[in-house]
Homo-oligomer: A and B are copies of this chain.
Amino acid sequence: MRSNAEDLTTRARIRDAAIGLFGREGFVRATVRAVAAAAGVSPGLVIHHFGSKDGLRYACDQHVLAQTATQGREKSDPESTGQLLRDYLNHPDQYLDEIAYIRRVLIDESEAGDAFFDAVVRQTQDIIHAGIEAGTIRKFDDVRSTAVVIASNSLSILLLGRHLSRTLGTVGLEPHGIGPDLLRQLTLPALEIYTHGFYTDSRFLDAARDALQQDNTSGGREHAL
């Protein structure tokens, strides 16, 4: 399912080299010359194929987005989600560049990042709806906000991977890579919170509910913007 062979178009080779460098170094740090060198090509050719560095970025965005879109399809059922995860755990370094690129795209403001995040939220929302019907997931008043919270929590290990494996002492594949060890160590604590909760009772929830209620009734917003 992956074009790891060396028989790629020069254009594709440049694009892949750029995805790797943009993800690893960031868009600004990764120079056109570095991309060209990584692809074994002259700097001029990069511009020749993509018009400009921004054009190259756009092409990378589109490619990574398309790649993840095909992977993300039909993973609304927990079955294939687990399969996808198992797939990643067995060949983590194959997705490394892509993941690093997505991380960067989520951080810098870009339309590709917006699209990706929205897709994740949408899929999470679908999963929650399906889970509620199946009885495996609790009924939430505000499914959309809940999905956003869950998506945000899930993506945090993508964004903070470096710090997570650093403080937990697990071996990370790269500066910001997420190793199998890390996922293994975080799975149970996260699932424990997601099944039994974090607090022992609804004290905090009730307090917050009261505070927000009071905030609403007391003549609207008191926090000037």
Contact = CB atoms under 8 A, between A and B. Distances in A.
A209 interface: yes
Given A29-B28, A107-B159, A184 B199 contact: no
Contacts of A209: 188
Given A109-B162, A121-B167, A194 B188 contact: no
Interface string A101-115: 000001101000110
A152 B148 contact: no
Contacts of A135: 200
Nearest to A202: B195
A173 B138 CA distance: 33
A203 interface: yes
Given A152-B160, A167-B148, A208 B191 contact: yes
A164 B152 contact: yes
A207 B218 CA distance: 47
- Counting contact residues on chain A (CB < 8 A from B), the size range is 35 or more
A217 interface: no
Contact of A138 (B142, B144, B162, B198): B198
B212 A188 contact: yes
A83 B117 CA distance: 32
A153 B153 CA distance: 5
A168 interface: yes
A76 to B, nearest CB: 15
Given A26-B28, A152-B160, A162-B109, A194 B198 contact: yes
A62 interface: no
B26 A138 contact: no
Interface in A117-157: 117-118, 121, 131, 135-138, 140-142, 144-146, 148-150, 152-153, 155-157
5 contacts: A106-B160, A107-B107, A117-B160, A149-B186, A155-B156
Given A138-B196, A141-B188, 18 more contacts: A28-B28, A89-B223, A114-B166, A118-B163, A121-B167, A136-B199, A146-B192, A149-B193, A152-B164, A153-B153, A159-B159, A188-B205, A188-B208, A188-B209, A191-B204, A193-B197, A195-B199, A195-B204
